[in-house]
């Protein structure tokens, strides 16, 4: 078979190359993310594997169909950037990698949390300004004494619950579909928002979840709450978050997935700049940790993303079924 990989990142090359050698399938690697303007580079290939957070549009799927390519196998979990109606209309079948390493993302969420509860951003800022004494006055909180609210207790949320429980924290969970046979202490969303010292988000960026953390939710939260989002940027109303950071109601925020990421990345790709006033303001706040959507980024995760995505694609091509076909 002839496969083409778009959005190929440097750390994926070895796994893609090894797979190609091991299986004898031809694999072309393209660094650019996939869109309707460059999909013709896949002409003559049987299927596409890709990873990106910029959109997969209806126009792209129509062009894939025109090229006779029926399968797109994404190397990640989230489906929020895919025009699923467009894919269906063009007859394109899609698979994802639902679990490449839930622990990677959960551990990163906990890392952001630990950074924030011990005020390391403020400490670092003082030290950078040669103010050793000033750096000593940021008293922290024990996670063990905190109530952690985990919103979304799927694969990643459950991994986060396990780690927070390991610290001895009281953990509350909210999920419309609670995990079966789990020891998670489920409450309704309102209770979680009111009682948590730390709020950790692990829900998909479905349109229905857009701004689930909005101005009204911030009003209900405890003073000096910490909020961590490694799920999707649209879950938090960023302007409301900024208001609450400025007022001091929110003590700290860890944002791996930023609300305007998609547009900002398109600007970066097309114009070479990532000019975003909300991002710039948060970058200046020592009690905010921003990261460029890298919660997933571990060796285990990258290897699994490549291997599982290619197994899905070969399933489509050789048997007509992929283990992780997206059917929604
Ligand atoms: P999952 O499908 O296993 O779990 C998601 C859970 O969220 C489900 O249990 C679902 O019932 C629940 N949910 C949906 N809407 C909800 C709501 N409004 N309130 C509470 N719970 C709700 O998915 P997962 O593997 O745990 O991944 C979660 C998300 O993490 C992905 O959709 C993706 O957006 C994000 N993610 C981010 C990274 C990263 O690198 N930052 C990497 C992988 C995944
Ligand atoms: C996901 O797997 O959904 C992620 O957010 C990871 C990212 C590299 C797209």
Q: Is the CB of 112 under 6 A from ligand 2?
A: no
Indicate which residue's Cα is closest to atom 22 of ligand 1: 152
Residue found by looking up tokens 């050789």 in the block: 318
Could you give phi then psi for residue 225, rounded to 5 degrees?
-70, 155
Residue 33 has pLDDT above 90, yes or no: yes
- Please state the rounded mean pLDDT for residues 5-16: 98
Does 141 qualify as catalytic in the annotation?
no
Q: What is the pLDDT of residues 197-218, one digit of tens each?
A: 999 999 999 999 999 999 999 9
Mean pLDDT for the stretch of residues 233-251: 98
For residue range 274-297, list pLDDT tens digits in order. 889 999 999 999 999 999 999 999
Check whether 273 has a pLDDT greater than 90.
Answer: no
How far does residue 157's CA lie from ligand 1's centre (Å)?
Answer: 7
Token couple for 56: 């997969």
Q: What is the mean pLDDT of residues 48-69?
A: 97
Cα separations (Å) of 104 from 114, 136, 247, 304?
Answer: 15, 31, 32, 12
pLDDT value at residue 281? 98
Does 261 qualify as catalytic in the annotation?
yes
pLDDT digits over 67-88, tens only? 999 999 999 999 999 999 999 9
User: 184 CB less than 6 Å from ligand 1?
Assistant: no
* DSSP secondary structure of 238-302: HHHHHHHHHHTSEEEEEESS-TTHHHHHHHHHHHS----HHHHHHHT-TTEEE-SS-TT-SHHHH
293 lines ligand 1 (CB under 6 A): yes
Which ligand sits nearest to residue 308's alpha carbon?
A: 2
Ligand 1 atom with the smallest distance to the CA of 177 is 11
State how far the Cα of 2 lies from the Cα of 28, in Å rounded to an integer: 8
pLDDT of 164 over the 80 cut: yes
Mean pLDDT of 259-283: 92
Percent with pLDDT over 70 in the chain: 100
Q: Return the ligand 2 atom nearest residue 297 CA.
A: 8
CA of 154 to the centre of ligand 1 (A): 6
Looking at all shown ligands, the one closest to residue 309's CA atom is: 2
Using CA atoms, how far apart are residues 69 and 49, in angstroms rounded to an integer?
A: 12
What's the pLDDT score for residue 186?
Answer: 98
Average per-residue pLDDT for the chain: 97
Instruction: Give 31's pLDDT tier (boundaries 50, 70, 90).
Output: very high
The secondary element (H helix, E strand) that includes residue 174 is strand 170-174
Average pLDDT of the residues in 185-192: 98
pLDDT band of residue 223 (cuts 50, 70, 90) is very high
pLDDT digits 0-9 by tens, 86-139: 999 999 999 999 999 999 999 999 999 999 999 999 999 999 999 999 999 999
Total Cβ atoms within 10 A of residue 205: 20
**Nearest-ligand number for the alpha carbon of 193:** 1
76 Cβ closer than 6 Å to some ligand 2 atom: yes
Task: Give pLDDT, residue 274.
Answer: 83
Ligand 2 atom, smallest distance to 305 CA: 2
Atom in ligand 2 nearest the alpha carbon of residue 296: 6
Q: What's residue 270's pLDDT? A: 87
- Counting ligand 2 atoms within 8 A of each CB, the residue from 34, 52, 77, 232 with the most, and so the one to mutate, is 77
Instruction: Give residue 275's pLDDT.
Output: 84
């Amino acid at each position: 078979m002839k496969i083409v990989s778009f959005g190929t990142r440097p750390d994926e090359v070895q796994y893609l190359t090894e797979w190609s050698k091991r299986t004898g399938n031809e694999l072309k690697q393209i660094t650019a993310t996939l869109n309707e303007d460059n999909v013709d580079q896949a002409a003559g290939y049987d299927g596409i594997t890709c990873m990106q957070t910029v959109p997969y549009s209806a126009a792209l799927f129509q062009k894939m169909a025109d090229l006779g390519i029926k399968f797109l196998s994404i190397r990640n979990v989230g489906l929020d950037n895919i025009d699923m109606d467009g894919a269906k209309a063009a007859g394109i079948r899609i698979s994802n990698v639902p679990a490449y390493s839930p622990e990677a993302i959960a551990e990163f969420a906990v890392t952001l949390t630990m950074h924030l509860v011990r005020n390391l951003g403020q400490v670092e800022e003082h030290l950078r300004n040669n103010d050793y004494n000033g750096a000593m006055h940021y008293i922290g909180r024990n996670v063990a004494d905190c109530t952690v609210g985990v919103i979304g207790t799927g694969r990643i949320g459950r991994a986060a619950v396990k780690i927070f429980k390991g610290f001895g924290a009281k953990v509350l969970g909210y999920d419309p579909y609670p995990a079966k046979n789990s020891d998670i202490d489920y409450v309704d969303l309102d209770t979680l928002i009111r009682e948590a010292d730390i709020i950790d988000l692990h829900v998909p960026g479905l349109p229905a979840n857009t701004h689930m953390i909005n101005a009204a939710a911030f009003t209900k939260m405890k003073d000096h709450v910490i909020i961590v989002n490694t799920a999707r940027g649209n879950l938090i109303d960023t302007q409301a978050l900024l208001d609450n950071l400025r007022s001091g109601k929110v003590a700290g925020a860890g944002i791996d997935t930023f609300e305007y990421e998609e547009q900002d990345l398109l600007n970066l790709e097309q114009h070479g700049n990532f000019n975003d006033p909300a991002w710039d303001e948060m970058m200046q706040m020592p009690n905010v940790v921003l990261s460029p959507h890298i919660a997933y980024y571990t060796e285990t995760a990258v290897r699994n993303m490549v291997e599982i995505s290619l197994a899905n694609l070969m399933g489509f091509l050789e048997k007509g079924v992929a283990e992780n076909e997206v059917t929604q």
